[in-house]
Amino acid sequence: MNATVIPPFARTYRYDAIDREFLAERIAEFRGQVARRLAGDLTEDEFKPLRLMNGLYLQLHAYMLRVAIPYGVLNAPQLRQLAMIARRWDRGFGHFTTRQNIQFNWTKLEDVPEMLEALAEVDMHAIQTSGNCIRNVTTDEYAGASPDEVVDPRVYAEILRQWSTLHPEFTWLPRKFKFAITGSPSDRVASLVHDIGVAAKRNAEGEVGFEIHVGGGLGRTPLIGRRLYDFVPEAEFLGRMEAILRVYNALGERDNIYKARIKILVRDLGEEFRALVDAEYDRMPQQAYRLDPEIVAAIAAHFAPPPFARLEDRPLPQDPAFAAWARASVRPHKQPGYASVTISLKPIGGIPGDASASQMEAVADLAERHSFGEIRVSHVQNLVLPHVRQEDLHALWQGLAAHGLATPNIGLISDIIACPGMDYCALATARSIPVAQRISERFADLDRQHDIGECFINISGCINACGHHHVAHIGILGVDKRGEEVYQVTLGGSATNDAAIGELIGPAFGYDDIVDAIETIIRTHIAHRAPGERFVDTYRRIGAAPFKEALYAVA
Amino acid sequence: MSSKAKSRPATSPVVFSGNGLRDGRVAWMGTEGRWEPRLGAVTPFAPEAAAEGLALAQQGERQQRVVGVYAVELGADGLPLKFRERLRLGGPSIDAEAA
């Protein structure tokens, strides 16, 4: 039994006895597989797919365990348990990822069964964080809190999670498969660059339905998703998803890993893809896939609003340092008198997305004190306290600052997404993290960051694009060129409603030159921008030529 | 086999590397046939002995000591030629958070 006391109003999905029994069996199974591997009864080739199914990779320096954080939602005991795992079995820190998961970079194989048992104690696991299956569904980190929300996406993210977990047909897809779902008209989940991007919305009658984009993705072949349906009624949601996955499972490329994602199939089939999905749906036993309103209501109950107090919005204290933090980190809430707070995991010169065990514990404590015990992980590698009383913001800020968690740079140039890169990742061709560190140090001055305005820099250490570089305002891709790290720069990308793939600006820059190149790009923006223009707006208005000229002009 | 060793003939002295099965940590092997955590503790093979070295390294896989062995060419300074391997030698180039 799970003896952990979960804050009563933290809106995380609660496991039942069947869930817990299944996890216990699964861990026992993996414990046996590890034992057989260590005894030599399984070869590495036999064991590798088994460990990957349990989220265990072998990286450059050690095993890495990737833990699923369903749609980025955590309660305080879960975050505390992650801190305990980091301290006991890793090196005292964890790395939050662009899929709203967490990775432990210094795992030992023989420790993994115990780590999984520790996760299970707080209703967590590492299943389907690797392999050619449906991965963790991501959603809006402000779900249930944002004033512009039309539908709570957590409900349908959880439905997708239950549907896709150990789905017998979709355990061996041609390639991995990623969903993102938003419930707001403003896309904060990069839905258009996912295998399936879901926008939950309501029709004129107030009924819930789903706009579906399919075939988006980054990596070697970056593509924006195509709109497949404008409004799938709630009852048909899972059936339509099933039909899409079946068509992909049947027709997706399996012989060439570079052409195996659904985006290639969708691109190559064009309109025919829709016809195939419709035909598949038509021949399915649709009643069996009908999403029962009672099931939806039961799951929605897990995400009911916490007991908000009746409060009025209030002016914030004038303390300049607090005001600077609040300007960047505090976001309006749908409930008067409350706010959402984004906690930067991007200290100047720090490792994007990393949090130490003591920081995780501090955030868990602050969440219990100020946010009903609930924490979110954003795909931008920050944390969020979704429901904070405005009257508590100053105290929260002080609490965060005491643990190095009050860097006021959310949405600014030092709020950088970076994959682990070659410092950890076996696939990487160049380092990402030290480039992010040097850029944030170059632009450390907060006044300068605010003057530059909203500007997203994303860095990937290889073409697989875990750092989402294609959809950054300024994207950086590290590649190997004859044994040296060089960095390609793309400009003008976007991951929001106006999703766009950035354009390659020209020849790559060396490791020692890339920060100066970013400086030149920013100076060019400043020189050409119209009042109030963001970097990406300036780029779209004036085009690449001024930037190329500034970067490559021969002195 | 899980070995990543490639067939291109070595032109420089080589050692073999892989990750420890139990802990995943980087390990190096030279003519002594022992797997060591430090490159400096092993003696490189001459280029023409690389094939013999690979056979020895693959024994380490079969004995459940290491995973994914492959040859690493060394330069005149005795360090790996490839940047990736130099990173594996010293660990991440960044200081991670301390507990």
Closest partner residue to B88 (CB to CB) among A40, A60, A351 is A60
In this predicted structure, what is the pLDDT of residue A324?
94
Which stretches of chain B sit within 8 Å of chain A by CB?
A: 1-2, 19, 21-26, 61, 63-64, 67-68, 81-84, 87-88, 91-94, 96-99
Instruction: Provide the b/e sequence for A26-46 (b: ≥16 CB within 10 Å).
Output: bbeebeebbeebeeeebebee
CB contact under 8 A, B26 and A61: yes
- Pick from A8-22, A70-84, A102-116, A335-349: least confident: A8-22
Instruction: Provide the b/e sequence for A103-137 (b: ≥16 CB within 10 Å).
Output: bbbbbbbebbbebbebbbbbbbbbbbbbbbbbbbb
User: Quick one: CA torsion of A119, A121, A123, A125, rounded to 10 degrees?
Assistant: 20
pLDDT band at B96 (very low <50, low <70, confident <90, very high): low
In this predicted structure, what is the pLDDT of residue B94?
85
pLDDT at A555 over 70: no
In this predicted structure, what is the pLDDT of residue B97?
42
Average pLDDT estimate for A322-345: 97
CB A75 within 8 A of CB A6: yes
HSE-up of residue A248 (Cα within 13 Å, Cβ side) = 31
Closest partner residue to A423 (CB to CB) among B25, B67, B94 is B94
Q: Residue A6: CB partners within 8 Å, gap ≥ 6? A: A12, A14, A75, A77, A373
User: Quick one: CA torsion of A233, A239, A243, A245, rounded to 10 degrees?
Assistant: 100
Neighbours of A492 (CB within 10 A): 23
pLDDT band at A9 (very low <50, low <70, confident <90, very high): confident
Is residue A185 classed as helix, strand or coil in its secondary structure?
Answer: coil
Closest partner residue to A61 (CB to CB) among B21, B81, B88 is B88
pLDDT band at A15 (very low <50, low <70, confident <90, very high): confident
In this predicted structure, what is the pLDDT of residue A240?
98
Q: Which helix (H) or strand (E) holds A382?
A: none
Determine the angle formed by the axes of helices A112-120 and A17-39, rounding to 10 degrees: 180
Strands, E assignment, A136-279: 138-139, 179-182, 196-202, 208-214, 226-233
CB contact under 8 A, A108 and B97: no
- Give the position of tokens 């819930």: A208
The domain A145-302: what is its CATH number?
3.30.413.10
Tell me A423's DSSP state: G
Closest partner residue to A110 (CB to CB) among B22, B25, B61 is B22
Listed residue (A147, A4, A26) closest to A76, CA to CA: A4
Tell me A421's DSSP state: G
Substitution target in B62, B94, B95 with the highest count of A β-carbons within 10 Å is: B94
Angle in degrees, CA A290, A293, A299, rounded to 5: 105
Closest partner residue to B24 (CB to CB) among A87, A109, A480 is A109
CB A265 within 8 A of CB A252: yes
Q: What is the mean pLDDT of chain B?
A: 89
CB contact under 8 A, B96 and A60: no
CB contact under 8 A, A358 and B99: yes
Alpha helix locations (H) across A165-284?
237-251, 262-269, 271-283
CB B73 within 8 A of CB B79: no
Q: Chain B contacts of A439, Cβ < 8 Å?
A: none
Distance CA A490, CA A500 (A): 11
Q: Chain A contacts of B83, Cβ < 8 Å?
A: 422, 480, 483-485
CB A390 within 8 A of CB A339: yes
CB A28 within 8 A of CB A117: no
Q: Which backbone phi and psi does A306 adopt, to 5 degrees?
A: -70, 165
In this predicted structure, what is the pLDDT of residue B10?
77
CB contact under 8 A, A38 and B19: no
| Domain A320-401 top-level CATH class | alpha beta
Closest partner residue to A351 (CB to CB) among B1, B64, B94 is B94
C-alpha A341 chain-centroid distance: 17
In this predicted structure, what is the pLDDT of residue A8?
78
CB contact under 8 A, B91 and A61: yes
Alpha helix locations (H) across A333-476?
357-370, 393-401, 433-442, 446-452
How far B81 CA lies from chain A's nearest CA (Å)? 8
CB contact under 8 A, A45 and B88: no
Closest partner residue to B83 (CB to CB) among A354, A356, A484 is A484
Listed residue (A168, B13, A167) closest to A179, CA to CA: A167
C-alpha A342 chain-centroid distance: 14
- Burial-class residue A150 by CB neighbours within 10 Å (0-12, 13-18, 19+): middle
CB contact under 8 A, B93 and A431: yes
Q: What is the mean pLDDT of chain A?
A: 96
Q: Chain B contacts of A59, Cβ < 8 Å?
A: 24
Listed residue (A358, A433, A439, A431) closest to A399, CA to CA: A358
Q: Chain A contacts of B28, Cβ < 8 Å?
A: none
Pairing of strands B14-20, B26-29: antiparallel
Average pLDDT estimate for A530-553: 96
Average pLDDT estimate for A219-230: 97
pLDDT at B3 over 70: no
Is A145-302 the same fold as A17-120? no
In this predicted structure, what is the pLDDT of residue B99?
31
Q: Domain residue spans in chain B?
A: 1-75
Average pLDDT estimate for A258-262: 96
First to last CA, chain A: 70
Substitution target in A58, A114, A441 with the highest count of B β-carbons within 10 Å is: A58
Q: Chain B contacts of A108, Cβ < 8 Å?
A: 22-24
CB A197 within 8 A of CB A188: no
Substitution target in A109, A363, A486 with the highest count of B β-carbons within 10 Å is: A109
Neighbours of A146 (CB within 10 A): 22
pLDDT band at A2 (very low <50, low <70, confident <90, very high): very low
In this predicted structure, what is the pLDDT of residue A259?
96
Distance CA A145, CA A126 (A): 27
CB contact under 8 A, B92 and A423: yes
How far B45 CA lies from chain A's nearest CA (Å)? 22
Distance CA A539, CA A535 (A): 6
| Domain A417-552 top-level CATH class | alpha beta
How far A61 CA lies from chain B's nearest CA (Å)? 5
Q: Residue A38: CB partners within 8 Å, gap ≥ 6? A: A109, A110, B21, B22, B64
Distances in Å between the Cα of A517 and the Cα atoms of A435, A474, A493 are: 12, 11, 17
Q: Chain B contacts of A423, Cβ < 8 Å?
A: 87, 92-94
pLDDT at A123 over 70: yes
Which ipTM value was assigned to this complex?
Answer: 0.91
CB contact under 8 A, A351 and B91: no
Classify domain A17-120 by CATH architecture. Answer: Alpha-Beta Complex (3.90)
For CA atoms A445, A485, A56, A160, give the dihedral sign.
Answer: positive
pLDDT at A469 over 60: yes
Q: Domain residue spans in chain A?
A: 17-120, 145-302, 320-401, 417-552
pLDDT in tens, A366-381: 999 999 999 999 999 9
Angle in degrees, CA A331, A492, A268, rounded to 5: 110
pLDDT band at A1 (very low <50, low <70, confident <90, very high): very low
Among chain B residues, the shortest Cα distance to A38 is held by B64
CB contact under 8 A, B94 and A44: no
Q: Residue A175: CB partners within 8 Å, gap ≥ 6? A: A132, A252, A257, A260, A261, A262
pLDDT in tens, A144-161: 999 999 999 999 999 999
Neighbours of A4 (CB within 10 A): 14
Count interface pairs A-B at CB distance under 8 A: 95
What percent of chain A shows pLDDT beyond 70?
Answer: 99
What percent of chain A shows pLDDT beyond 90?
Answer: 96
- Pick from A312-326, A341-355, B83-97: least confident: B83-97
In this predicted structure, what is the pLDDT of residue B4?
55
pLDDT band at B9 (very low <50, low <70, confident <90, very high): confident
CB A233 within 8 A of CB A249: no
Average pLDDT estimate for A306-313: 96
Distance CA A187, CA A171 (A): 29
- Give the position of tokens 């049947």: A250
How far B31 CA lies from chain A's nearest CA (Å)? 23
pLDDT band at A18 (very low <50, low <70, confident <90, very high): very high
